[in-house]
Amino acid sequence: MAEQRKPARIYVTRPELPSLNEFIPYLQEIWDSKILTNGGPFHEKFEQKLCEYLGVKHIALFANATIGLVTALQALRITGEVITTPYSFVATAHSLLWNGIKPVFVDIDPETFNLDPDKIEAAITPQTTAIMPVHCYGHPCDVDGIRAIADTYGLKVIYDAAHAFGVRCHCGSVLTHGDLSVLSFHATKVFTTFEGGAIVCPDEKTRQRINYLKNFGFADEVTVVAPGINGKMSEFGAALGLLQLKGIDRALARRRAIDARYRAGLESVPGLRCPRPASETLANHAYFPILVQPGFPLSRDELYRKFRDHDIFARRYFYPLISDFPMYRGLPSAAHNNLPVARKLAEQVLCLPIYPDLPDDQVDRVVELLRGGGT
């Protein structure tokens, strides 16, 4: 009897990589030069090409976004309390704790999944020094609303832009907003250098300080200007990044096509909502969140488990809320009634698989399951 082939496992994401053959000449150069790190030639070239691609002026590369966030806070000498979102990956708030800063959680907007500017002012105290919003799923925050509040109260704004590679809003790259923006190039992101990240800076002076901080605080061979950390990206990561830039437009176009296919397939499924970024956004389709609402035959968690039974590994980004983890839940701002929108969305959200190599027939497999009410 012919063996029945099991459908392939579908993950929430898979990294987009160039062919190994294309990468070997880059590796050969590293092997020949024996320059592996500390700001080598690939590092310099990648920073320059990345600025050009993203439409920004100054970038400091990092080993990952988490160290980037920790360093961004150090660079701007942020202390006291920082207003942030509970609806994100834990690294956002952890970067505050690593600096001895108290996170103050503020609820999110039900359409954008991002900090609700209307709720920020009530959370400001004399100890507040900054706001750390997240462009969640790459959907831009209300950057103008946040800027207005920051200006009124003299606060800094550090955007966690881990999801926002290549995203453009009403006035160009979303990464030019705020005092600093931090990108992630982790394996699960739209643009990857295995691990990696970057801080987008407004001027060369700030970039210089960040460069000292990511290199133990060294300003030259014998001068240490701050208790810096080791946050440097290696030549391996920078070389891969340089090569990745060649394929990124094709990868983003494929993501766009998958996003459109999901939307067309799921348009009229009762109890499902597919949020999208504001219409003027040039999105990167980093994630495809759906909200499982009353009217759908299964609860979100039942659907999550049903998907797993079918070897489809959709993920509940971002459940649980950061404010529910043990190191945060004692904070007054983590109280249940302070974050009703974030709490509701965290109970309803499921991120569907989306990545450039995902074939149409697998997208259709996911859609069929949802159209059948998860059965």
Write out the residues near ligand T4K by the rule CB under 6 A. Answer: 11-15, 64-66, 88-89, 91-92, 134, 160, 162-163, 184, 186-188, 197, 313, 315, 317
98 or 216: CB nearest ligand T4K: 98
Q: How far is 317 from 351, CA to CA, in rounded Å? A: 6
Looking only at the bridges linking them, the beta strands covering 128-132 and 81-84 are parallel
Tokens of 17: 């990589």
Block residue for tokens 């497999």:
365
228 or 231: CB nearest ligand T4K: 231
Q: Tell me how far, at minimum, the Cβ of 53 lies from ligand T4K, in Å.
A: 18
70 or 369: CB nearest ligand T4K: 70
Q: Tell me how far, at minimum, the Cβ of 1 lies from ligand T4K, in Å.
A: 33
Across-strand partners of 183? 198
Looking only at the bridges linking them, the beta strands covering 312-313 and 10-11 are parallel
12 or 190: CB nearest ligand T4K: 12
Tokens of 32: 């020949």
296 or 321: CB nearest ligand T4K: 321
Q: Phi first, then psi: what are they for 91, rounded to 5°?
A: -55, -30
Contact 181, 161 (CB under 8 A): yes
Q: Tell me how far, at minimum, the Cβ of 13 lies from ligand T4K, in Å.
A: 5
Alpha carbon of residue 246 to chain centroid: 21
Q: Tell me how far, at minimum, the Cβ of 67 lies from ligand T4K, in Å.
A: 7
Q: Tell me how far, at minimum, the Cβ of 190 lies from ligand T4K, in Å.
A: 12
Q: How far is 75 from 208, CA to CA, in rounded Å? A: 10
For residue 213, what are the CA distances in angstroms to 73, 208, 320?
11, 9, 32
35 or 187: CB nearest ligand T4K: 187
Q: Tell me how far, at minimum, the Cβ of 336 lies from ligand T4K, in Å.
A: 23
The answer to whether the peptide bond before residue 297 is cis (omega within 30 degrees of 0) is no
DSSP state of 194: S
14 or 119: CB nearest ligand T4K: 14
Q: Tell me how far, at minimum, the Cβ of 52 lies from ligand T4K, in Å.
A: 22
140 or 197: CB nearest ligand T4K: 197
State the distance between the two ends of the chain, measured CA to CA, in whole angstroms. 28
Q: Tell me how far, at minimum, the Cβ of 215 lies from ligand T4K, in Å.
A: 18
What DSSP assignment string belongs to 148-172? HHHHHHT-EEEEE-TT-TT-EETTE
